[in-house]
Every structure is written in C-alpha cells, then in structure tokens.
Structure 1
C-alpha cells in the first residue's frame, strides 16, 4: 500500500510544523510500502511555501503543491490529482497525529477490504479537540469530541479509486463548511461503508476562545448557511435537512434554548469573559454555541427564503 496524506493549508504555519513533524515520526505497519505527504498551500500569505521549501530536509516525505486561494475543496482535489498513492488519507493542517496513526488506518482498511472482497469502504479516525499548542497530544478525549458525521476530512482514509469514482469534492463549496459531508452523501449512495478506526487519533488544535473571535465566528455561521443551501440543492432530502439544521424543529429548538434571542453573544459577554479569565474557555465556547446555532439556523432560513426554497 502506498499512502498519500493530503493536507490543504492556509496561513497555518506554526501548527502545520507540528502536524508535519508528527507525520515524519510514523511507525509504519507491514501493510504500508511507503507514504508521502502532499501539502497543498491555498495561497497562504504567512510565508508557508517559502518556509516549506527551506525546511525540505526536515520533511523528506513532504511534497508542496501551490494554488491561488480557492478553498479546501479545490485544495483537496488538487492534492488527490498530484498524489502518487493508491490510498488517500485526508487530515487538516491543524491536526497533530500519533506515531501509529497511518498504520492504524492501513491495518483497518486491509482487514475491511479482505472481509468485503472490495474496496468500497473508508476508515474514520478519532479527533480530539485541544487548545494546548505546546503539547496537543496531551489532551484527553472528551464527550464533545464525538462526531456523528458520515465522512469528515479531518481524519479519514480511503482508496483513491473510490474517491475518483465518487467525483471528488464539489468546488462550488468555496466558503466554510459542508464540502466533505456532501461528498459523503455521494459515497454513501455508492454503498461505501464507514469503518470506525478510533486507534487512529489526531489532535485538532485551535486557539482557546477569546472575545475578539466572536465576530469571525458569527461570520462563519453565515458562510455555513450559504454553503448549507448548496448542499441541500444537490441533495434535497430529509436526511440533509437534518444535517444542515434546515427544519422547523431546529429553528424552534434554538429559539427556545436562547429564549428567543435574549441569550445572545452580547448578553453572554460578561459570563464569557469571566469563564475565559478563570481558565474555562472550553466551557465558554460550548455556551457560545447556543446563540451561534440560532444565528446559523436563522441565516439558513433567510437564505432559503431569498432563494425561494422551503
């Protein structure tokens, strides 16, 4: 098995370094003949390409591909196009993996291929969220790290031929969100089976919540709403409605949980500040998700109304 790890990146140089160092430390299993790491720089302005070229000796498995800023869907497609391997592993550039990461994916894939008699499956590893930049792998697994997504590109491995049959990622998803889950819907309809692989652990680093992040988080909810409608237009099913929260049940839920908007990013600000100052930024983020979900669902319904969708 030749494994190609495909990583799109945009202005993530500090955490990308930790990501790539972890991939250089892989203890590969007998199933893996060799592996490469295809980094697709999506028009970074923080010097990432020059830094990677200058650090080539530290990262012998890495190949750098560059593109103008076009989003992660385009970046992943470009990475697959340039990949030499027969198996593609997708991770994000802010994910730091364990030393056995690739071997766990490979072993699980081979067992599944042999049991099925074909390659119509993919392995889905565990993602642990952390704000610990110095030692991301020290984070413990938490209940809120569980994901119910069918296909999420933070940590998956799949045969390249299966990806190509599915049609890769839709580059119409140029803003934040849903491009991987949309591909997942096509894979699911092809009969491609999800294989849980909890031993393939990646630690997803993102900075602890600060109050000045809130405007961008609200902006992201608007982008998710717009891309959610792109997703729904392609797959106008009840299942996708629930995935993107485009139901009256979700709208009622978030209105009730925020008391019709009385609990919002402004009214929560003093409590959020207190939690952050006392080292509870994770709790603050979970609390902030209440108004963020309401904002996102309202934006989705507004976009749908403007587009004439119900």
Structure 2
C-alpha cells in the first residue's frame, strides 16, 4: 500500500515543523508499505507557513497546496483530491508521531482485513495530549486521553475508495467541530468497521492552559454548538443529539454544575489562576470545562432555535 498523509494546517508553523520532521523519520517495511507522501494543505495561514517550507529542503516527502481560509473539511478534501496514495492517513498539524507510526497503521489494516474477511475497515491510532513542546513524545498515556469516537481525523487510516464513496467531508462545516464525526456516520452506513491501533501513537501538542486562552475556547464552544446543529440536521438521531449535547440531560447537568452559569470565566478566574501558579494547568482546564460545556450547550440550543425559525 502507498500512504498519503493528509494534513490541514492553519497558523501552526512552530509545531508543524516537529510534525513534519517526525513523519520524515518513518521506519517502514517495503514489502508492506511501498512508499508514502505527506500532503500538506495550508488553509490560508498568515504566519508564513509555506514560505518557511520553501526555505527548507529536508522534507522530501512533503507536497504542499494552498487554499483560501475555508476550514478543515475543505482542506482535507483538497488533500484527498491531490493525494497519490491508495490509503489516506489523516492527522492534524499539531500531532507528533513516533517512527513506527505508518508501519503500525499498515499492519493493523492488513490484520483487520484478514480477521474480518472484508476491506470495509479503517484504523484509529492513539492520541496522547501533551503540553511539552520540547519533547512531546515523552508524555505518558492518561485516562483523559481515552476517546470513544468512531471516526476522528486526529489519527486515522482508511482506504481512499471508501472516502470517495462516502462523498468526503461536508464543506458546510466551516467552523470548529464535527466534520469528521459526521463523515463517520456516513462511513458507518457503508458498513465500515473501526480497528483500534494503539501502536500508531500521535502526541497532540497544545500550549499549557492560561486564562488568556479562555475567550478563544469559549468561541470554539459556541462554534461547536452551531456545527453540532448542522450535524443533527443531517442525521436527526438520538445518538447525534447525545454527541452534540443537545439533550435535557446535558442542559441540566452543566446547568447544575455551573450553577446556572454563575460559575463562569469571571467567577472562577481566581481559582484557575491559582492552580496555574501552582503548576497545575491541566487541572485548571478540567475545571474550566464546567463553564465551557455550559457555553456549548447554550450555543447548541441557540443555534437550533435559529435554525427552526428559518424553516
């Protein structure tokens, strides 16, 4: 099989360098993986990403493409369209992989096909979250790294033909969230099975939590609520309602935990800053999720009400 690693990126040049260098260090068995390419799609970055790439010749596997800022869904579609491989791997540009990453996906795909007697499969690797920019792959696995997602593009390998048969990503998902899980619903309808591949490890880097990030995080939750409603409009099922938190259960849960929104970015700021000063930014972020989820639920219901008015 020949891999095309499709990576959308937007203003992530520092961590993208680590991402690309790790992919250039892959150890593969030529009898199983005939080769690979890295298809980088710049979604209109303003940080000089492509200019930097042109100045560096140590990325022989990379082919880059540029589009106006349209979102990750459109960027991944362009990557698939330009890919030469029969098998597509999706990762994000802030993911740093180990040297056996591609080989692990290849072995899992072959074993899964043999065990199930079908090629209607895809592999899902492990994603470990880390704030360690200098040495991201040193982060141990944590219980908070567990994901029950069926199809998430942070670390997944799938035959190109199934992506094309499904119709690729819906480019109406221009804002944050859900474009990959929505595609996953369509892949499931085609009968594809998920094969877990914990040996294909990717380390998802993000900066340590700080109070300055809160406005952006709140905006992302509101965007995720809007895109969640689009997800539900396409697939009006209880499973999707649960995923996007558009149920009375979630409304009550986060309403109670946030005391009706009284525990918010303003009232919790002193506690969050104290935890950050104590060297516990991860704990501070988990506490911040109380009001972030409340914003998400509020955003879902506001977007749904607006959509109902238009119909």
TM (norm. structure 2) is 0.97
The question of 1:43 aligning with 2:44 is answered yes
Rounded to whole Å, the distance in 2 between the matches of 1:118 and 1:164 is 18
Q: CA deviation at 1:111?
A: 1.1
Rounded to whole Å, the distance in 2 between the matches of 1:48 and 1:221 is 27
Rounded to whole Å, the distance in 2 between the matches of 1:112 and 1:11 is 36
Moved more, 26-35 or 123-132: 26-35
Q: CA deviation at 1:117?
A: 3.2
Rounded to whole Å, the distance in 1 between the matches of 2:213 and 2:177 is 18
Contact 1:176 1:227 in 2 (8 A): yes
Secondary structure at the counterpart of residue 260 of structure 2? helix
Residue aligning to 2:279: 279
Secondary structure at the counterpart of residue 5 of structure 1? strand
Q: CA deviation at 1:260?
A: 1.8
Rounded to whole Å, the distance in 1 between the matches of 2:260 and 2:42 is 42
Residue aligning to 1:166: 166
- After the TM superposition, which residues 233-248 of structure 1 pair with which residues of structure 2 at under 5 Å, given as runs? 233-248=233-248
Rounded to whole Å, the distance in 2 between the matches of 1:74 and 1:280 is 37
Q: CA deviation at 1:306?
A: 2.0
Secondary structure at the counterpart of residue 261 of structure 1? coil
The question of 1:136 aligning with 2:136 is answered yes
TM (norm. structure 1) is 0.98
Unaligned runs of 5+ in 1: none
- After the TM superposition, which residues 39-188 of structure 1 pair with which residues of structure 2 at under 5 Å, given as runs? 39-55=40-56, 57-188=57-188
Contact 2:123 2:195 in 1 (8 A): yes
Deviation digits for residues 206-232 of structure 1 (CA, Å, limit 9, x no counterpart): 001111111111111110011011100
- Deviant stretches of 4+, over 3 Å: none
Residue aligning to 2:26: 26
Moved more, 296-305 or 240-249: 296-305
Secondary structure at the counterpart of residue 35 of structure 1? strand
Rounded to whole Å, the distance in 2 between the matches of 1:53 and 1:113 is 39
Residue aligning to 1:269: 269
Q: CA deviation at 1:262?
A: 2.2
Rounded to whole Å, the distance in 1 between the matches of 2:78 and 2:211 is 36
Deviation digits for residues 119-171 of structure 1 (CA, Å, limit 9, x no counterpart): 21100000000010000001111110111111000000000001111110000
Contact 2:124 2:196 in 1 (8 A): yes
Q: CA deviation at 1:258?
A: 1.4
Contact 2:10 2:42 in 1 (8 A): yes
Unaligned runs of 5+ in 2: none
Residue aligning to 1:200: 200
Deviation digits for residues 251-310 of structure 1 (CA, Å, limit 9, x no counterpart): 00111111222221111100100111111000000000011001110111122122228x
Rounded to whole Å, the distance in 2 between the matches of 1:211 and 1:53 is 35
Aligned residues: 309
Rounded to whole Å, the distance in 2 between the matches of 1:109 and 1:248 is 40
Contact 1:119 1:162 in 2 (8 A): no
Q: CA deviation at 1:174?
A: 0.2
Q: CA deviation at 1:239?
A: 0.6
Rounded to whole Å, the distance in 2 between the matches of 1:284 and 1:242 is 26
Q: CA deviation at 1:38?
A: 0.4
Rounded to whole Å, the distance in 1 between the matches of 2:116 and 2:302 is 45
